Amino acid sequence: METRIVEAGGLKLRVCTHPCVYQPSDDTLAAVEALARAASLGLRAESVVDLGTGTGILALAAHKILEPARILAVDHSPYAVKTARCTLSTIPQALVARCSGASCITGSFDLAISNPPYLEVDDRELAQDDCEEWLYTSWGPSSLLEDIVAAAPGLARAVLIVYSTLSPIDPERELTRHGYKPLVRVEKRFFMETIKAVVLVGRGLTAWTG
């Protein structure tokens, strides 16, 4: 386990890392930037859930930006759970649990955050060991993205979701059908795809002051 400083959204975030866990990358930076922009527009959240937390960086960013009273970070990888607990160890209101998507979660939150596997790839058969197998699950397949989008309307009043133009579904379009409205969109363009981090707010968001 190592630590590194990640600069994103005007923040310097001290994050624990592990070779078996997806490292903060361009999509992570886009998500933090989107969250910071949403907060500047008035987004508030007393409770946050981070689905597929990985290193825990997005939960940490939410703590720094929104100062929620409650944070729940979940991941199905045992390596990610260990790493996120390290990243969030100084935040007493943060709980890290092992869980696939929203399958173990009850109740509702002001904000759900997720940078899930969003591509139709599955390289686990190439893995040489258990560590690599868990690492490959952070890339795909994209079924977790679809599960999170389906669960969002009953889970959170606002959603920050990361996806690609190569993803099999368009989460922004799907969530709009459930009454959410886009607030912030951050895009990172690459040769073959565009990565998008979108914040959407739903009806009845009591923590929304804009």
pLDDT tens-place values along the chain, 210 residues long? 899 999 999 999 999 999 999 999 999 999 999 999 999 999 999 999 999 999 999 999 999 999 999 999 999 999 999 999 999 999 999 999 999 888 889 889 999 999 988 877 665 555 566 787 777 777 666 778 888 899 998 999 999 999 999 998 999 999 999 999 999 999 999 988 999 999 999 865 544 444
Residue 172 falls inside a structural domain: yes
Residue 109 falls inside a structural domain: yes
142 burial class (0-12, 13-18, 19+ CB within 10 angstroms)? Answer: buried
Residue 55 falls inside a structural domain: yes
Structural domain count of the chain? 1
CATH number at residue 177: 3.40.50.150
Q: What is the pLDDT of residue 42?
A: 93
Residue 184 falls inside a structural domain: yes
Q: What is the pLDDT of residue 62?
A: 98
Token reading at 76: 């199905």
Residue 207 falls inside a structural domain: no
Residue 208 falls inside a structural domain: no
Q: What is the pTM of this model?
A: 0.91
Residue 209 falls inside a structural domain: no
Report long-range pairs for 10-16 (Cβ below 8 Å, ≥24 apart): 10/36, 11/36, 11/61, 11/64, 11/65, 13/57, 13/60, 13/61, 13/64, 14/87, 15/55, 15/56, 15/57, 15/60, 15/87, 16/55, 16/56, 16/83, 16/84, 16/86, 16/87
Domain that holds residue 190: 2-201
Residue 160 falls inside a structural domain: yes
